[in-house]
Structure 1
Amino acid sequence: MSTNMIAWEKDADGIVTLTMDDPDARVNTMNERYRDAMEETLDRLEAEKDGLTGVVLTSAKGTFFAGGDLDSIGSTTEDDAAEIFAETEHIKAQLRRLETLGVPVVAAINGAALGGGFEIALACHHRIALAGKKTKIGLPEVSLGLLPGGGGVTRTVRLFGIEKALMEWLLEGPQYSAEEALEKGGVDEVVASAEELVPAAKTWLKENPEAHTKPWDGKGYKIPGGNPTHPGFAQRLPAFPAMLRAKLGGADVPAPKAILSAAVEGAQVDFDTASRIESRYFAGLATGRTSTAMIQAFHTDMQTLRSGSIAGEKGREKNTVNSVAVLGAGMMGAGIAHALAIAGIEVMLKDVSLANAEKGFGHVKGLVDKRVQQGKMSAEKAEEILARVTPTESYDDIAHVDAVIEAVFEDFDLKNSVFTDVEKVVGPDTLLCSNTSTLPITQLQQPRERSADMVGLHFFSPVHRMKLVEIIKGEQTSQRTFERAYDLVQQIRKLPIAVNDGRGFYTSRVYGTLILEAVAMVEEGVNPQRIEREARHAGFPASPLAMLDEVSLTLVQHIRAAEEKEAKELGTERPARPGESVIDRMIEDFDRKGRAAGAGFYEYPEEGRKFLWPGLFEHFSQDTEISGQEIQDRLVYRMAIETARCFEDGILTDTASANLGAIFGIGFPPQTGGPATFMVNRPEGLAGFVSRCDELADAHGERFRPSEWLRERAAKGNDLV
């Protein structure tokens, strides 16, 4: 019996249907089994091609083909570059054999065809895709620090032209629906049902028996839009590096630069030479530390969080929520209500008055109406979603719900009062969740009759854009409660991370160190413009002083006051921290409280873009000399060292939550793979991180000093847990 994962079926018309199905994996990937199967299949196709009229390539999985073997790629080092190059060339040689078989080949795309999956389809002569939500088509390798190394750059440049290939397929790695891919030219046909897919492919083969040569293999072929030496295109070419730098914010991210280089260089040579250029860039990226970090975060860690392993035993029965009460109809509460309703959950949106609740409902309606206006949702679907949300001012209306999510102002007495009222009306099995961002869950549990049923669910603003939810286990939170909270987060298609209790939990605690470090540099006289610019160069999606304006300077004061109160109750004193005096002066001397108040570190004119308040330069900046790298390191290392302290304090217990919580929740530079990976992903490992922290501590203060716990970890190896 053959072990070939590609099944062969030939019909009476001489058409062979090849069906990919890796028996040992949930999806098909470019692993060793695929490589060997494709080699065997190509040998047979070439041997029997005189008796063939066409080939259909499809999949028995729910997806077409998932792409490269990321588990293997993610474990490579610089020493593996030659091996990776050779392996890449081998796989591409197979696709080239398929492309030049002399018999037309159709890709029957029955689901997701991303990365290597789409590259296989691009090697075919015709592409037909199945309509529906499960079909996603594209080349998203850039999001993993890679470029499409299976011919994706070479073929898209020749199919679409350099500019369109870069802007629509390569530099941002979009994932298109079947219909969108048809519009973009990535597929040639779309069918409505799986039953139509292979018959449609066979129909095309019968009607196009001679369509077995790609345009770039024919005489007189020219790249659409011209190659880099074409006068019209050559005039626009110098703008591409500048455009790329602006898109990256100046961050040193190698993959987009390699994609641009491979596309431009490959467009000036023949197909096979362009393919080798692409392979060399791919091997360099695949064996570099950036792709290792990004694969760890966006593949390995993402699988960990989505698999449910952080929530308990594998195979446990999932909990489902049908109704939720959201308490507090402000922007956050309304955003949570919107996320719940879209997921099919009935929502009671409660506030102190019906008018307030209806105002929150209006915000939900605005979000839904915007999607209708953008053509992303039908009017009927919008009505269906809005019908699930009921504004109310009465606690009696929430008695039946499966879960409660409190989203009132960040004040302990207020939250405690709300839950006291909730416990009087809801059932004994209702899940109790607080959307606090800093207040300890254990503190909220203490007055509760049902403390084991209480858990923290920290959503991020704006909820409709931010996918992360931080689940906080208080000291008395039961395992069942945590599992129910985890399942609810997954049910509304958000990304859950797990943390233990403590003021600020994980994300707020670490985020506070970022913004305070930026303000500390303002206090030292560093030019604020440089701080903001170097943050973007480090890879932060937004600059810290601008982010502080968004959360408000008064919130920082509020959190400090709560910490001082708690310290006093414990008989200790909270020490002042660098940068806090600047925040006090901004509020008390200049009445600048943040964006919501109309003035903060930035000015917010009614017309035009925001800009840094000139008073910063007058009252604080002394043009203190400091290198750009030192600014970047202070921001990134300050967050990382606080992450290490969260591990030491038991707030964090897994690296996946640490990495993706920081990237998706508080903007840690994604090319680092997150703070846990950042600490270990260096030639000297964790010891190298500790050494650099000591240098920063000597220069800028003890807040950078590694603890003895971290030093012991570094001495023993490279693990934080």
Structure 2
Amino acid sequence: MTENTTIRWEQDDTGVVTLVLDDPGRPVNTMNAAFIDSLDAVVERLEGSGDTLRGVIVASAKDTFFAGGDLRDLRAVTPETADRSFEAGMRVKRALRRLETLGVPVVAALNGTALGGGYEIALACHHRVLLDRPTARVGLPEVTFGLLPGGGGVTRTVRMFGIAAALQKVLLEGRQYAPAPALDAGLVDEIAADQTELLTRARAFIDAHPESAQPWDRPGHRIPGGIPSHPKFAANLPAFPANLRKQTNGAPYPAPRNILAAAVEGAQVDIDTAFVIEARYLTDLLTGQTSKNMIQAFFYDLRAVDAGANRPQNLPSRTVTKVAVLGAGMMGAGIAYSCARAGIDVVLKDVTPQAAAKGKAYSEKLCARAVAKGRTSREKADALLARITPTADAQDLAGCDAVVEAVFEDPVLKAEVLGEAESVVAPDALLCSNTSTLPITSLAGAVSRPKDFIGLHFFSPVDKMRLVEIVKGERTGDEALARAFDLVRQINKTPIVVNDSRGFFTSRVIGRFIDEGVALVGEGYDPATVEQAAAQAGYPAKVLSLMDELTLTLPRRIRNETRRAVEEAGGTWTAHPAEAVVDRMVDEFGRPGRSGGAGFYEYDEEGRRTRLWPGLREHFADPGLRESDLTELKERMLFVEALDSVRCLEEGVLVSVADANIGSLLGIGFPGWTGGVLQYVNGYEGGLPGFVDRARELAERYGERFTPPALLLHKAERGETFTDD
């Protein structure tokens, strides 16, 4: 073997060869060109070993088994290089096929995470043993990057589990399985407690199965659940695309569609032909824009954000040991749970013991549910709950090294509770306010140490929402920013950093989406069409239903406060077309949203949404607009958010492109296929110049809110894109 091989050959005196995956130039193993060359070489050597070969163990020298495909290579594929990409994928498939048909047992000794291409290598083995590490994960997450498995993953999981089970368990959701669930689901065959046991179990399989073959290579094998040519299966086949469309709401996600097609078509042919079908569908995705958008966002941008690209680099990390959460309502209760789950002691304070206890009850409910579903043990749940101390006594906050205020959005109330807490907690405690709209700089007047005061904007429900928007006020110090970043990472959430402004980034931009949807109703578009446009654009929450959840009175109150601030600063307020609709809904029709039992939708006695309020059509709809251009409606929603995000970057509210993309995806539901608000601009047909041309068309028709900002025009003219590089 050559010096630069990515696979080491180790052979013992019993005839067992261990292939050690170890790329010398990378911290992790990836399916790059060097690996493909190495794989071809070792498989050829294995085939030439003859009777001296008794079995093969595929292992890894890295902390993870194998990280999958090299996303830099995949993102770079173009229509012009599609043939080379197709052939590279076929080389991998052919080599792994040769590996699994050697006639001797081949075992994957998974010492850590095996995702994507890593798990596809394991699938080409006859037996899979996984080391029981808390961080270990297996699965095929390619769909989350707008791709499908390219190393035989679709073909082999279909033959292993059946079409329906493979789609549901492995392919369409991109689920990553921890060791125990992976064993239960059949993705691995055994779990080992340590490295020694891992190799012992691998060798035991080789000893017990001297002549091994894949199930699909044995005579009489049938794909579990049948194939499309079977009448019973064929009768249910139309349900597959129908369910897929229901899951995506018609949004432009080509990867699930291609995965479904590859699974169904590949099940009807021999395995080698199925590999070709799979490769063609992958190449189609690689040459499209959606995969490039999703790779940029969900790998590169997310990695940059989580790694602390905008954290002050010259300050040491600090760990919070005891946090004071002020306010035990929905947000405070969720923050308390998230902190306790991360091992932090929490003092949950409210005005009465009963209110504080009610806040802790939220954690009790979540823990009970987790225990019932087997996601945690009763002992771990009890330990989590023991870390939360509900109280109404401010003296109980003594010793807390961080404060998170989460009371109602009232500056006077926030000032009161922050001032009370600051006098009791540790002298250098980090002081945070969970606010979605109120300027942090003005709230800082309530504390004596404004340099230690910062905004932490959590999203509801806190236990599920991954994003936290860190808001730096004018007087916030770098140390406070670093400590806030460390706290957010400590509780396993993703932090973006923004500068102070009314509405910051996320609340400001999502408001543009909501306003545009409501304005469409005011223009006479059928409300069901408006909701359908939002769904087909890829928004997880339809715009009118989202407005109902927020309540119509909250945006109106924020609007009035913003208007007052603009006018007090000497500016002129420009009314948005949505304002008249909201005012009529609240004042004329008495429909303030879901919390009031009536909004754009109707609700039953238990608060469940039933249907759109028929009065919308009666009072707002224009019958002449029934035949609507959904593309136009979708782009109005997408463009109005993207354009205001550019303004946020231009104004210095946003400090990085990655924060913009990740904040929009994880915080405010901007469609995942776009790669985020600024990547949507980058990837628009025709690039930035094409986006500018379309924005100008929309501005001419609908108003100045669609006018391209100067920063966008500057970049378009210079042939640039929005990037942090």
TM-score (norm 2): 0.97
Is 1:392 the counterpart of 2:394? The answer is: no
Cα distance between partner residues in 1 of 2:312 and 2:81: 37
Counterpart contact for 1:326–1:347, Cα < 8 Å: yes
CA drift of 1:87 comes to 0.9
CA drift of 1:524 comes to 0.7
Counterpart contact for 1:455–1:474, Cα < 8 Å: yes
Counterpart contact for 1:510–1:642, Cα < 8 Å: yes
Residues 225-249 of structure 1: per-residue CA shift (max 9 Å, x gap): 2221111211111211111111111
Is 1:697 the counterpart of 2:699? The answer is: yes
Residue 93 of structure 1 is matched in structure 2 by: 94
Residue 406 of structure 1 is matched in structure 2 by: 405
Whichever residue aligns with residue 722 of structure 2, its letter is: L
Residues 117-162 of structure 1: per-residue CA shift (max 9 Å, x gap): 1100011111111224222111111110000111001111111121
Counterpart contact for 1:647–1:720, Cα < 8 Å: no
Residue 679 of structure 1 is matched in structure 2 by: 681
CA drift of 1:93 comes to 1.4
Secondary structure at 1:228 match in 2: coil
Is 1:207 the counterpart of 2:223? The answer is: no
CA drift of 1:683 comes to 4.4
Cα distance between partner residues in 1 of 2:581 and 2:10: 73
Residue 463 of structure 1 is matched in structure 2 by: 462
Residue 177 of structure 2 is matched in structure 1 by: 176
Residues 396-441 of structure 1: per-residue CA shift (max 9 Å, x gap): 2213111100101111122122222233223331101110100111
Residue 281 of structure 2 is matched in structure 1 by: 281
CA 1:720–1:158 in 2, change beyond 3 Å: closer, same or farther?
A: closer
Residue 123 of structure 2 is matched in structure 1 by: 122
Residue 226 of structure 2 is matched in structure 1 by: 226
Counterpart contact for 1:323–1:347, Cα < 8 Å: yes
Quick check: 254-263 or 215-224, which moved more? Answer: 215-224
Q: Percent identity?
A: 52
Cα distance between partner residues in 2 of 1:237 and 1:199: 44
Residue 333 of structure 1 is matched in structure 2 by: 332
Residue 501 of structure 2 is matched in structure 1 by: 502
CA drift of 1:576 comes to 1.5
Quick check: 324-333 or 445-454, which moved more? Answer: 445-454
Residue 620 of structure 2 is matched in structure 1 by: 620
Give the gaps of 5 or more residues in structure 1: none
Cα distance between partner residues in 2 of 1:188 and 1:149: 23
Secondary structure at 1:29 match in 2: coil
Secondary structure at 2:49 match in 1: helix
Cα distance between partner residues in 1 of 2:571 and 2:131: 65
Residue 427 of structure 1 is matched in structure 2 by: 426
CA drift of 1:574 comes to 2.2
Cα distance between partner residues in 1 of 2:573 and 2:409: 20
Residue 189 of structure 1 is matched in structure 2 by: 190
Residues 205-240 of structure 1: per-residue CA shift (max 9 Å, x gap): 0111011x2232233333222221111211111211
Whichever residue aligns with residue 308 of structure 1, its letter is: G
Secondary structure at 1:309 match in 2: coil
Cα distance between partner residues in 2 of 1:535 and 1:502: 27
Cα distance between partner residues in 2 of 1:371 and 1:218: 41
Residue 553 of structure 1 is matched in structure 2 by: 552
Counterpart contact for 1:49–1:103, Cα < 8 Å: no
Secondary structure at 1:310 match in 2: coil
Residue 20 of structure 1 is matched in structure 2 by: 21
Secondary structure at 2:338 match in 1: helix
CA drift of 1:624 comes to 4.7
Whichever residue aligns with residue 553 of structure 2, its letter is: T
CA drift of 1:481 comes to 0.8
TM-score (norm 1): 0.97
Cα distance between partner residues in 2 of 1:677 and 1:287: 17
Cα distance between partner residues in 1 of 2:624 and 2:442: 43
Cα distance between partner residues in 1 of 2:571 and 2:211: 84
Residue 167 of structure 2 is matched in structure 1 by: 166
Residues 585-607 of structure 1: per-residue CA shift (max 9 Å, x gap): 11111221111121111111137
Counterpart contact for 1:685–1:718, Cα < 8 Å: no
Secondary structure at 2:25 match in 1: coil
Residue 269 of structure 1 is matched in structure 2 by: 269
Cα distance between partner residues in 1 of 2:393 and 2:69: 54
Residue 667 of structure 1 is matched in structure 2 by: 669
Give the gaps of 5 or more residues in structure 2: none
CA drift of 1:13 comes to 1.8
CA RMSD of aligned residues (A): 1.5
Residue 238 of structure 1 is matched in structure 2 by: 238
Counterpart contact for 2:4–2:24, Cα < 8 Å: no
Whichever residue aligns with residue 257 of structure 2, its letter is: K
Whichever residue aligns with residue 164 of structure 2, its letter is: E
Residue 569 of structure 1 is matched in structure 2 by: 568
Whichever residue aligns with residue 371 of structure 2, its letter is: V
CA drift of 1:366 comes to 1.4
CA drift of 1:25 comes to 2.2
CA drift of 1:2 comes to 2.8
Q: How does 1:298-447 map to 2 (within 5 A)?
A: 298-313=298-313, 317-447=316-446
Aligned length: 719
CA 1:276–1:345 in 2, change beyond 3 Å: closer, same or farther?
A: same
CA drift of 1:44 comes to 2.1
Residue 35 of structure 1 is matched in structure 2 by: 36
Residue 719 of structure 2 is matched in structure 1 by: 717
Counterpart contact for 2:418–2:446, Cα < 8 Å: no
CA drift of 1:350 comes to 0.8
Secondary structure at 1:425 match in 2: coil
Counterpart contact for 2:685–2:691, Cα < 8 Å: no
The one of 631, 648, 651 aligned to 2:650: 648
Residues 289-316 of structure 1: per-residue CA shift (max 9 Å, x gap): 00000000101111101111221328x5
Counterpart contact for 2:348–2:388, Cα < 8 Å: yes
Cα distance between partner residues in 1 of 2:551 and 2:477: 34
Counterpart contact for 1:473–1:499, Cα < 8 Å: yes
